[in-house]
Structure 1
Amino acid sequence: MPAESPNTSDRDTEPFVEVDPTGRFGRYDDLLGAGAVKKVYRSFDQEEGIEVAWNQVRLRTFSEDPVLINRLHSEVKLLQALKNKYIIACYSVWKDDEHNTLNFITEVCTSGNLRDYRKKHRHVSIKALKKWSKQVLEGLEFLHTHEPCIIHRDLNCSNIFINGNIGQVKIGDLGFAAIVGKSHAAHSIIGTPEYMAPELYEEDYTEMVDIYSFGMCLLEMVTMEIPYSECDSIAKIYKKVTTGVHPQALNKVMDPEVKAFIDKCIGQPRARPSASDLLQDPFFSEVDDEESGPIG
């Protein structure tokens, strides 16, 4: 078995607990985040000299289903080909047969996810929220106009990441929900029914499900409240979503322009504008096309 703590010769050097097959990426023991099937660790890219994120999926979660595992592998590989400044970059993907894990290295954002960042910064102007929203839409436009079209399927504020020093926002956890959604434990793995468009439950949907989720993200950004937090079970959320009952948080949006824009995004599938349409909306007229700068 390979040594688990290479590249360290003195006590002051933080040891890697694992290194990728090429020797380029080293994983530290500290977690950046964890989900039902994936753990994300702090990692270091020795070639570029930068910190990165080491994503590790335990494949036994997928009931040793080789078709599902191969599909997961191929979808994550697809991420490597996606190059867009509004999408978290994926640098490397490999399967570790010895530990039965799928590993992939992604870029890391300095300020973590948008949900935590927004909670930390309670006083943020509408203009700043519009800047963040516009960048999310730029990322969705890239995915939705990709050939073939890529649907995120699980967009929410915990998988939108931010570099707070420059106000730059990026979409993460891409392609993963697509696979997880097909597994038998989808209800527990996806874990964000509050953001799921009604038609997702019917399994007959288009990329417009991401526009709905984006609308719910904007609602959370504005109110700092997870949509449907008045519900105490997934069954109750499901009932409200599928019968067209909007979350109570929508009543807390005081700005009529913001409320109207969210309403557009969470309307009936055929009535929802595309990401490209939304980017042309007068809602963004005060947000310049330059890269967002620091707030204030």
Structure 2
Amino acid sequence: MINLVYIIIIIIIIIIIIKGNICKMPSASHETYDQDREAFVEVDPSGRFGRYSDLLGAGAVKKVYRGFDQEEGRDVAWNQVKLRNFSDDPTVLKRLLSEIELLQNLENENIIVLYSFWMDVENTTLNFITEACASGNLRDYRKKHRRVSLKAMKNWSRQILRGLEYLHTHEPCIIHRDLNCSNIFINGNIGKVKIGDLGLAAVVGKNHAAHTLLGTPEYMAPELYEEDYNELVDIYSFGMCLVEMATMEIPYNECDSIAKIYRKVTSGAMPQAFNKVNDPELKGFIERCIGQPRARPSASDLLQDPFLVITSSEESDGST
């Protein structure tokens, strides 16, 4: 009888030990979850924004990574500049700081929103968080979708012009100066278009005159090369964006040097891609955008142009 009691006690102890070890073992599902959960590469000083390793885009000045706003639960774009790369060129840093300062004060549905920015002294980086457009830039988006209707291009055009109208009527006037399809962004699921990358923008006074040569040669208005221009250079660039949207070709891609582009632009020669624009109304609209500076309409004027007037069919399907 006593031996039986001992055996029972030993069995109970063994069961307790086994259960204890089971409780201490990590849950398989929790372990899998921890492994699957993507880790941030870095977090901003406030702890609100995290950066992933995914690179969304890269340019001469900055890299853009996928980020996440933990407070609002939304995707963001984490823009990062390695300052040591530009220590010999203070004008680059000046342009970046100008972009941040501009973005911080702009509020328009067709302009990219800035959420936060800071300087990382230890890693010598300048970081700023902007809203993310799920479908990327308009150039890449257009290449993915080769069949785009004229109605869709009109919708994009109206939104771009509303953004430009906001910039140009801002006090003081803001000139983008580097508008092209790679820095116009889109949320394809709702067709929302936004202008970004204002790093080359110029804030000018009441005389609306600027005197600095900056931009992307294929999209630069002739007067930009003369370094004496106003906000209508953005209208010229917008016209070239329309050429690219319609043909999926970068204007003047037949030129193999900036010098050749310069000669064509300043002589008034159209890019070869322009001849591939099939719709006569679109062609005429582009010609108005890239005309001589004094004949070139403003963004406000173009929004009233018959080409962009919303038809009854577009009103019925909710197009904007």
TM-score calculated relative to the size of structure 2: 0.81
Counterpart of 1:270 in structure 2: which amino acid? R
Q: CA deviation at 1:73?
A: 2.0
- How far the C-alpha of 1:250 sits from its partner, in A, is 1.1
Question: SS of the counterpart of 1:254?
Answer: coil
Is the contact between residue 69 and residue 75 of structure 2 (CA under 8 Å) also seen in structure 1?
A: yes
Letter in 2 for 1:128: A
Contact 1:77 1:93 (C-alpha < 8 Å) held by counterparts: no
* Aligned 8 A contact 1:89 1:107 in 2: yes
Residues 293 and 63 of structure 1: CA distance in aligned 2, closer, same or farther (over 3 Å): farther
* Unpaired segments ≥5 residues, structure 1: 1-8
Shift of 1:226: 0.8
Contact 1:127 1:286 in 2 (8 A): no
Which residue of 140, 143, 148 corresponds with 1:116?
140
Structure whose alpha-carbon radius of gyration is higher: 2
Cα distance, 1:293 vs. partner? 5.5
Distance 2:318 2:61 in 1: 35
Is the alpha carbon distance of 1:177 and 1:120 closer, same or farther for their aligned partners in structure 2, counting shifts above 3 Å? same
Alignment partner of 1:104 is 2:104: no
Equivalent position of 2:194 in the other structure: 170
Q: CA deviation at 1:51?
A: 0.6
Q: Deviations over 1:2-60 (max 9, x none)?
A: xxxxxxx9322211111111111100111000001100000000110001000012223
Q: Give the superposition deviation at 1:133.
A: 0.6
Specify the alignment match of 2:20 in structure 1. Answer: none
Q: Percent identity over the alignment?
A: 74
Cross-structure match for 1:3: none
> What's the counterpart of residue 6 of structure 1?
none
Q: Which residue of 2 aligns with 1:199?
A: 223
Secondary structure of the residue aligned to 2:230 is coil
Of the two structures, which has the highest relative contact order with CA contacts closer than 8 Å and spacing of 6 or more?
1
Is the contact between residue 127 and residue 287 of structure 1 (CA under 8 Å) also seen in structure 2?
no
Higher helix share: 2
Is 1:197–1:241's contact at 8 Å kept on the other side of the alignment? yes
Q: How does 1:31-110 map to 2 (within 5 A)?
A: 31-64=55-88, 69=93, 72-110=96-134
- Count of residues in Structure 1 that have an aligned counterpart in Structure 2: 279
Unaligned runs of 5+ in 2: 1-32, 203-209
RMSD of aligned Cα (Å): 2.5
Tell me, in whole angstroms, the C-alpha distance in 2 between the residues paired with 1:28 and 1:203: 40
Aligned AA (1:246): M
Q: Which moved more, 1:44-53 or 1:11-20?
A: 11-20
